[in-house]
């Protein structure tokens, strides 16, 4: 059997209307992707602003927390001093009631 003449790998030539429809379809896809990209960028900017606001709020809360911790430490120190003072007064009153003199009491407190 004889071989057919010509190449079997012939390229098909598309017509102009086919190419134009493909170009239009790709342009629509491109426009949709650009719109999605713009929406994502806008959402990222919104989230960045929200993050900045939350960080600022967190710093303020941390500052308040530190000042409250300092106040607590001061209050505990005052309470400890008052408790110690009350204990000393109690010990002095016991010593006075037992008949000790002021000089003896001072010697015991040292």
Report residue 21 as tokens. Answer: 């429809």
CA-to-CA dists, residue 97 to 4, 36, 91, 110, angstroms: 135, 89, 10, 19
Over the stretch 44-94, which tens digit does the pLDDT of each residue have?
999 999 999 999 999 999 999 999 999 999 999 999 999 999 988 888 888
Distance, C-alpha 31 to centroid of its chain: 36
H or E stretch at 28: helix 16-97
d(Cα 55, Cα 61) in Å, to the nearest integer?
A: 10
Token pair belonging to 55 = 């960080």
Residue 3 — left, alpha, or beta (φ > 0 → left; ψ -120 to 50 → alpha)?
beta
Burial of 92 per CB tally in 10 Å (0-12, 13-18, 19+): middle
**pLDDT tens track for 6-54:** 666 666 666 778 888 999 999 999 999 999 999 999 999 999 999 999 9
User: In this predicted structure, what is the pLDDT of residue 67?
Assistant: 96
Burial of 100 (0-12, 13-18, 19+ CB in 10 A): middle
- Rounded to two decimals, the pTM is 0.53
Q: What is the pLDDT of residue 8?
A: 67
């Amino acid at each position: 059997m004889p071989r057919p003449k010509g190449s079997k790998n012939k390229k098909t030539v598309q017509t102009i209307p086919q190419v134009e429809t493909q170009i239009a379809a790709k342009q629509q896809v491109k426009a949709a992707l650009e719109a999605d990209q713009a929406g994502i960028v806008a959402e990222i900017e919104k989230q960045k602003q929200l993050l900045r606001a939350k960080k600022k709020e967190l710093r303020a809360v941390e500052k308040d927390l530190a000042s409250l911790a300092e106040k607590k430490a001061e209050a505990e120190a005052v309470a400890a001093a008052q408790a110690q003072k009350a204990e000393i007064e109690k010990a002095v009153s016991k010593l006075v009631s037992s008949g000790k003199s002021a000089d003896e009491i001072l010697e015991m407190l040292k």
